[in-house]
Amino acid sequence: MSILNQKTINSKISVSGIGLHSGKNVNLNILPANPNEGISFKRVDIVNDEKIVSPLFNNVCDTNLCTTINNHAGVKVSTIEHLMAALYILGIDNVVIELDSQEVPILDGSSKDWINIIKKAGIKNSNSPIKVIKINKTVEIRNSDKFIRADVSNINLDIDFEIKYPNTMIGSQRNKISVYNDNLEDIYNSRTFCKYEDIDNLKRLGLAKGGSLDNALVIDKFKLLNKEGLRNNKEFVNHKILDCIGDIYLSGYKVVGSITCSQGGHSLTHQLLVKLFSDKKNYSVFELKGKNLPHSLIEKYQLKSIA
Ligand SMILES: [Zn+2]
């Protein structure tokens, strides 16, 4: 059995928690799925409409502070990005995610708990090779001084991300990671964040109803309100990289390319995927077999297969 084959989980996972924006309690199950079924969300609370919502870029209906997808009946699933990032990082290709409310639980605001829960359930290989999307041409989305760009890379998925926040302790941070080579612990441990001064406004807009110091870093000008402090010294930009990994997985497969982003977020990453897939010259999709793989990727999947 090749280590490059598609993976699912060994056994059913059940998680309960609240939605960051809805504040509602949600029960979520992750179930094993067959090769080539991909990842799907299933709204088990929906009675009369189509329950299945696929996490694909062309199903994205909202990118304001989180990524929300819907199906043709308008049934939605929101704040999917941290769970999608955990699945990407662990190399999971096929699962069914059942939930009884619209929003995926926020847990601790990072992907740490998702990673631990999935690892505990175990990862199961199949006999089907994984598919990969390779960037063939530079594609860029620019919005004044914010931009995101996908460039060609022969062997990896690199993400180079910078943020620039004026007048707060967040400030400017930049980090560059190699998704298939690096230890991503600092990435998946990094929590979502917001400015204290924005909270009233978010709540007026019906957002962040479930937000607390248990699931978000909150910054009051130059002070972090979370008593336990930061988990790593680039936690803010590392969380943006985590979001970017989760949002890139809405391409449907793992990606080989080089992503550079300044001050982007869910919206820019989504626009990048829309532009990328609007022209078949921009990318190619192929099955990964041992002989056409970089050594680094093979090692990464070997590690995963015994994790
Ligand atoms: Zn996030």
22-81 pLDDT per residue, tens? 999 999 999 999 999 999 999 999 998 899 999 999 999 999 999 999 999 999 999 999
Amino acid at 60: V
Amino acid letter at 113? D
- Chain segment 224-276, per-residue pLDDT in tens: 999 999 999 999 999 999 999 999 999 999 999 999 999 999 999 999 999 99
CATH of domain 132-291: 3.30.1700.10
- What distance in angstroms lies between residue 109's CA and the mean position of ligand 1's atoms? 7
Q: From the CA of 192, how far away is ligand 1's center (Å)? A: 5
pLDDT tier for residue 119 given thresholds of 50, 70 and 90 = very high
pLDDT digits (tens, 9 = 90+) for 127-141: 999 999 999 999 999
Residue 283 banded pLDDT, cuts 50, 70, 90: very high
The CATH fold of domain 5-129: Ribosomal Protein S5; domain 2 (3.30.230)
Task: Say if residue 281's pLDDT is above 60.
Answer: yes
Structure confidence at residue 183 as a pLDDT band (50, 70, 90) = very high
**CB proximity list for 48: less than 8 A, separation 6 or greater:** none
Cα distance between residue 300 and residue 173, in whole Å:
27
Which tens digits make up the pLDDT trace of 155-168? 799 999 999 998 78
CA of 11 to the centre of ligand 1 (A): 26
What pTM does this model have?
0.93
Catalytically active residues are 266
Q: How confident is the model at residue 304 (pLDDT cuts 50, 70, 90)?
A: very low
Q: Ligand 1 center to residue 124 CA distance, Å?
A: 27
DSSP-assigned letter for residue 291: G
Report the separation in Å between the CA atom of 306 and the middle of ligand 1, taken as the mean of its atom positions.
28
Query: What's the gap in Å between 127 CA and the centre of ligand 1?
Result: 33
Pick 294 or 188 by higher pLDDT. Answer: 188
- Indicate the residue type of 187: I
Query: Distance between CA 179 and CA 127 in Å, rounded?
Result: 24
The Cα–Cα gap between 52 and 66 comes to 19
pLDDT for the residue 167: 77
Residue environment code for 256-294, b if the CB has 16+ CB neighbours within 10 A, otherwise e: bbbbbbbbbbbbbbbbbbeebbeeeebbeeeebeeeebe
The Cα–Cα gap between 114 and 30 comes to 11
Domain segments of the chain as ranges: 5-129, 132-291
For the stretch 195-223, pLDDT in tens is 999 998 998 888 899 999 999 999 998 89
